[in-house]
Amino acid sequence: MDPMVQKLRDTGVIPVIALEEETQALPLAQALLEGGIPAAEVTFRTAAAPGAIRRMAKAHPEMLVCAGTVLTVDQAKEAVDCGAQAVISPGTNPQVVEWCLQENVPVYPGVATPTEVEAALALGLTTLKLFPAQVVGGVSMLKALYGPYRQVKFMPTGGISPANLGEYLTQPNVVACGGSWLCPKDLLAAGNWQKIADLAKACADLVRVLRGL
């Protein structure tokens, strides 16, 4: 298995994060690490993303810091320049994918249909983001895709919570799940890092049980 994909699988859940202030990056990273989740998908939904990625990557090289919601090549370049180890997108932009492959940057674009899966396969990719997971069929969709596309692994994101995490992580074609419940906006705004650490620990414990680690 590809080393980056193995890291994703070992973590099990990748927190999907939208930070309003880049100064939130370090206490958040510390909380996630304390809870046993050494990964973060910092989304380009806010202007704080590049600075937050830079701070996390510099302070915690042991952490898998990914850039999320990357829609353009310029964003991909900025993310990598800031230290992002992987690029994740809600859809598949061939230009972004081709740039990442050219630069040897792991890239996991989003798909929602078999046609989009085949388009991604044609670009040379076999690990993809299923988004928005619950809306497009969730576990039922993953089971349906497994038959014809057994070589493809997915990172379902969207609508996943502790209540249905087990259904997803036990699918043979799921590497990891993206989850926003670990870093909700209210806890980030309040700076409640201990609560985030507690959520991360509960999640990490659940992943270990589900995967027999």
Catalytic residue ranges: 41, 129
CB atoms within 10 A of CB 211: 12
Vertex 193: Cα angle to 66 and 196 (nearest 5): 65
Residue 63, φ and ψ in degrees, nearest 5: -95, 140
Distance from C-alpha of 213 to C-alpha of 10, rounded to nearest angstrom: 9
Distance from C-alpha of 114 to C-alpha of 17, rounded to nearest angstrom: 28
What is the torsion angle, in degrees rounded to the nearest 10, for the CA atoms of residue 75, residue 7, residue 183 and residue 127? 60
Distance from C-alpha of 188 to C-alpha of 201, rounded to nearest angstrom: 17
Identify the bridge partners of residue 153 per DSSP, sorted by sequence position.
127
CB atoms within 10 A of CB 187: 17
b or e along 30-48 (b: 16 or more beta carbons within 10 Å of the residue's beta carbon)? Answer: bbbbebbbbbbbbbbebeb
